[in-house]
Amino acid sequence: MPPPIILHMGARDWATLILLAILWGGSFFFIDVAVGSVTPMSMVLARVVIAAAILLAILKATGRPLPFARATALPFLVLALFNNAVPFTLFAWGQQHIASGLASILNATTPLWAVLVTHFFTADEKATPLKVIGVAVGFAGVAAMIGGDLLLDIGGASLLAQLACLGATLCYALAGVHARRFRAMGVPPMTVSAGQLLASALVMLPLVLLFEPPWRASAPTGSAILAIIGLATISTALAYILYFRLIERAGATNAILVTFLIPVPAIALGALFLGETLAPRHFGGLALIVLGLAAIDGRVFARRRPATTA
């Protein structure tokens, strides 16, 4: 029988959750700085190589399983495509044309896609009526945000960038379903993280050599180099470690609360250091997405119901 889900987190768990939101929110800031002088796929390659090296070193130092088993090679490759290579590249390309804060808001739609993906591709996570309502409300928020661009700039870079970010979040949801098999295979979460990042590096290297060869690129700025290092070490390697530690302590149900918080530091960093401003419709869309996520999470509504006895 699986352990019960913990609904109340301690101060340490909340501190980890907030720190994780800052780290992942900061990734949009780092990407925005880096893509100013580094091409998207090259930036992704550097990100996954550095992060993979860090996690592999930690696995080796702590005696944990390394991701080199032949049976996991193909599953790691599939996970790398849907959880790293494709979405990281789409966000990097998209943030060349839209604000980092807007990208973070669109990133918050991942659980909306997850409800749909798990409903159609799993047997044990079917959508409930409340989740369906949450998805509808959340995507109404997306429509409110990109509706203006659809009418005023159809086919423009801003609209395509927003659609690219939405495509990236769909990839994340598909990756979540695929990742379920690693638990059945007995692969520890940190080993999964290292394996997917290593596979992502192997995928991105030939793509960079083919489409963005370094000998044709201009030298990156010092700020771009620092941003990539921060993106790889802080917002990828360290963030994965904290995320899985939070899951172990507080459960996956509580860990998903980070989705609500990520846009806050991302928007703040964009406004403070990048001079970004968002339109009122973006904040209205964010409000609807958060409301939809709250419905999907269900706990806010559950606490308002009368207490019942078993």
Distance CA 284, CA 141 (A): 7
Note whether residue 4 is domain-resident: no
Note whether residue 3 is domain-resident: no
Q: Locate 175 and state its tokens.
A: 């990756």
The three-state secondary structure class of 305 is coil
Note whether residue 241 is domain-resident: yes
Note whether residue 310 is domain-resident: no
Q: Locate 153 and state its tokens.
A: 């700039």
pLDDT tens string for the chain (310 positions)?
444 445 467 888 899 999 999 999 999 999 999 999 999 999 999 999 999 999 999 999 999 999 999 999 999 999 999 999 999 999 999 999 999 999 999 999 999 999 999 999 988 889 999 999 999 999 999 998 887 665 556 557 888 999 999 999 999 999 999 998 998 899 999 999 999 999 999 999 999 999 999 999 999 999 999 999 999 999 999 999 999 888 888 877 778 889 889 999 999 999 999 999 998 989 999 999 999 999 988 877 665 555 444 4
**Best CA proximity match to 36, nearest among 96, 76, 94, 77:** 96
Note whether residue 179 is domain-resident: yes
Note whether residue 2 is domain-resident: no
Q: Look at the chain and report how many structural domains it folds into.
A: 1
Parent domain of 144: 11-302
Does residue 122 contact residue 277 with C-beta atoms inside 8 Å?
no
Note whether residue 57 is domain-resident: yes
Task: List Cα–Cα distances, 299 to 8, 155, 215, in angstroms.
Answer: 11, 40, 53
Note whether residue 42 is domain-resident: yes
